[in-house]
A and B are shown apart, each in its own frame.
Chain A
Amino acid sequence: MAMLEVNNINVYYGSIHAIRDISFEVNAGEIVTLIGANGAGKSTTLQTISGLLRSKTGSITFNGKDLGGVPAHKIVSMGIAHVPEGRRIFQQMTVEENIEMGAFTRPGSEYAERVENVFHHFPRLQERRKQIAGTLSGGEQQMLAMGRAMMSKPELLMLDEPSMGLSPILVDEIFDIIKAFHESGTTILLVEQNANKSLAISDRAYVLENGKVILTGTGRELMQSEEIKKAYLGG
């Protein structure tokens, strides 16, 4: 049984049919990527899994448990962490307070250890512990959002376009950290437009277009597919 199973979900924004019968699965220990152009439904899919949006049909199960009626705040404590698109950090709090908020659903147990783990992956955040988060650079804000998500000790980490708007060096750094999270035992569901980078580290990937899954395969297979090359890899 897969860790996360998404079966035939349909999501609407009012009368707009954003996701059409999407099904996919993520097995424990995998890195799975959803790629696709703007408006393909990638972020909507993640938001549906984390309970911010609801599907009209189908089901989403996590470790065998149905997520259908579970409110967003409870899904976090079930072991799914969602890093939303666009560096949604708490701008007016310090870096440390942001990280603290990440442990909101799981305070107490090995708290100090988890903080240390975050600083281990993001030494730059440790240097800026007392700084107001809104004054961080874009890359640092992305790191803070990821570090905060790791504070809930998720089994499944969902990252929504972590490389968006970052310089090539920072993109490399972010992908290295994703790999490091994965090696430490976290399953990763990644949404990306940077198909090159993301397919290179993925076990499997799904290609979305207009709210549908149009192609699926291992990361390597998709990188070699002519269709993908033309549409996403530039050549």
Chain B
Amino acid sequence: MKLLRNLDKSSRRNYFSYVLVTAAFLIVTFMNQGGMLNKKMQGLLVPVCCYIVMALSLNLTVGIMGELSLGHAGFMSLGAFTGVVVSQSLMGVIPNEPLRLLIAILCGAAVAAVGGFLIGLPVLRLRGDYLAIVTLAFGEIIMDIINCLIVGHDEKGVHIIFNFKGDKSIADLNLLEGGTAIIKGAQGAVGTKSISTFTGGFILILITLFIIINFVRSRTGRAVLAIRDNRIAAESVGVDVMKYKMIAFVISTTLAGAAGALYGLNFTGITAAKFNFNTSILVLVFVVLGGLGNLLGSIIAATVLYILPEALRQFADYRMLIYAVVLILVMLATNNPKVKNLFAKIIPVRRKGKGD
């Protein structure tokens, strides 16, 4: 993998990732203040940050650990709804919005970490296609469970009931006067005070990059790379396969939870159905097109592919058509030697002094 092939090259690439993210943030902030962004583009800023973090964290599971997970949106959703509940119920206690956002993100991350651990216990014993199928199932299970959730808040604290039979409603919470409903079952979170900011998203991306880059360089990260490279060899040198896979998986789900909390608090309402299989696949597409194990690639792919469908909205009917063509072109450009050469001719850059 590129991260390993040449440490100097990879440190350069990592350094560049930090610089690129910071530069992009500064430029966009500047443009925003200069009134160069329309309302629609402004609305995209925070979700783009969330999806970048999602792509980076999924890259840890798929690219660095080498196991295909199809339920990543499930952990995002755990983070999102935890974040919403925490933020809404602390509204009276902590009026400071950035601080509340921070606490909400930390709680979202913590719940996703616990979820990742519990789901990891059975799932990480599997490999390959089986692991992919089971993560897919768990992603859907999380979605269904949250669909049954009814949560409200009043002076006495947070009230939670599970509406498994479909016969309960917000009235069953018996909220005191002045209490508010936070999550209304399948209707999702309603009336959320939106407190996510672009700056928050930017900081979360930097933290995510920092965690993943240092993880890969650490002893633990090296063990994870060893398992991906050759499981039997890793066992024969004394690597506890289950333990190290679990560490990588939990870090991955934790970051997804953080991204989810940021996402959930960006909208006034959000439903569990938003975090379905399609969202997991969307993030996987970012990771695969950006390149497995390539963090900078994930960032760029997530940004471009998230903005593209929105930017193409005026061509309504042809939107998904163009999106598909772009996907195919990117795959060709990165894999087909002929097309690669063609691109290399058009764009005469890099690929020199690449030797180890």
Return the chain A residue nearest B3 by Cβ.
A92
Checking A73, A76, A97, A104 against B4 with a beta-carbon cut-off of 8 angstroms, the contacting residue is A97
Task: Chain A residues near B240: list those with CB within 8 A.
Answer: 71, 73
The digit string for A66-81, where 1 denotes a CB below 8 A from any CB of B, is 0000011111110001
Contact of B348 with A by CB under 8 A: no
Task: Chain A residues near B236: list those with CB within 8 A.
Answer: 50, 52, 72, 76, 81-84, 88, 149
Contact of B237 with A by CB under 8 A: yes
CA distance A107 to B220 in the complex (A): 13
CB distance from B144 to the nearest CB of A (A): 35
CA distance A100 to B218 in the complex (A): 13
Contact of A89 with B by CB under 8 A: yes
Contact of B35 with A by CB under 8 A: no
Contact of A101 with B by CB under 8 A: yes
- Segment from B112-120, B227-235, B262-270, B315-323 that makes contact with A: B227-235
CA distance A83 to B229 in the complex (A): 16
Task: Chain A residues near B225: list those with CB within 8 A.
Answer: 90, 92-93
Interface residues of A in 132-190 (CB under 8 A from B): 132, 145, 148-149, 151-152
Task: Chain B residues near A94: list those with CB within 8 A.
Answer: 4
CA distance A27 to B292 in the complex (A): 48
Q: Are A97 and B232 in contact (CB under 8 A)?
A: no
CA distance A82 to B236 in the complex (A): 6
Q: Are B238 and A104 in contact (CB under 8 A)?
A: yes
Q: Are A107 and B226 in contact (CB under 8 A)?
A: no
Task: Chain B residues near A77: list those with CB within 8 A.
Answer: 238
Looking at B5, B223, B234, B235, which has the most chain A CB atoms within 10 Å of its CB?
B235
Task: Chain A residues near B234: list those with CB within 8 A.
Answer: 90, 101
Contact of A38 with B by CB under 8 A: no
Q: Are B219 and A91 in contact (CB under 8 A)?
A: no
The digit string for A113-129, where 1 denotes a CB below 8 A from any CB of B, is 00000000000000000
Checking A75, A84, A93, A104 against B239 with a beta-carbon cut-off of 8 angstroms, the contacting residue is A104
CA distance A105 to B243 in the complex (A): 14
Task: Chain B residues near A52: list those with CB within 8 A.
Answer: 232, 235-236
Task: Chain B residues near A152: list those with CB within 8 A.
Answer: 237-238
Task: Chain B residues near A82: list those with CB within 8 A.
Answer: 236
Number of contacting residues on B, CB 8 A? 21
Return the chain A residue nearest B2 by Cβ.
A92
Number of contacting residues on A, CB 8 A? 35
CA distance A199 to B226 in the complex (A): 34
CA distance A218 to B225 in the complex (A): 43
CA distance A50 to B229 in the complex (A): 20
Task: Chain A residues near B226: list those with CB within 8 A.
Answer: 90, 93, 101, 104
The digit string for B1-34, where 1 denotes a CB below 8 A from any CB of A, is 1001100000000000000000000000000000
Task: Chain B residues near A92: list those with CB within 8 A.
Answer: 1, 4-5, 225, 229
Checking B1, B5, B229, B237 against A105 with a beta-carbon cut-off of 8 angstroms, the contacting residue is B237
CA distance A105 to B237 in the complex (A): 7
Looking at A50, A77, A83, A101, which has the most chain B CB atoms within 10 Å of its CB?
A101
CA distance A151 to B5 in the complex (A): 22
Contact of B167 with A by CB under 8 A: no
The digit string for B225-262, where 1 denotes a CB below 8 A from any CB of A, is 11001101111111111000000000000000000000
CA distance A148 to B356 in the complex (A): 22
Contact of B159 with A by CB under 8 A: no
Contact of A229 with B by CB under 8 A: no
Contact of B222 with A by CB under 8 A: yes
CA distance A151 to B4 in the complex (A): 21
Q: Are A132 and B238 in contact (CB under 8 A)?
A: no
Known: A101-B237, A131-B356. Is A84-B232 also a contact (CB below 8 A)? yes
CB distance from A139 to the nearest CB of B (A): 17
Return the chain B residue nearest A103 by Cβ.
B237
CB distance from A211 to the nearest CB of B (A): 21
> Which 7 residue pairs are nearest across A and B when measured between Cβ atoms?
A76-B238, A88-B233, A105-B238, A73-B240, A90-B229, A73-B238, A82-B236
Residues of A at under 8 Å CB distance from B? Answer: 50, 52, 71-77, 81-84, 88-94, 97, 100-102, 104-105, 107, 130-132, 145, 148-149, 151-152
Residues of B at under 8 Å CB distance from A? Answer: 1, 4-5, 219, 222-223, 225-226, 229-230, 232-241, 356
What are 24 residue pairs bridging A and B, where the CB atoms are less than 8 Å apart in the complex?
A52-B232, A73-B235, A73-B240, A74-B238, A76-B236, A76-B237, A82-B236, A88-B230, A88-B232, A88-B233, A88-B236, A89-B230, A90-B233, A92-B229, A93-B4, A94-B4, A100-B222, A101-B239, A104-B226, A104-B239, A131-B356, A132-B5, A148-B237, A152-B237
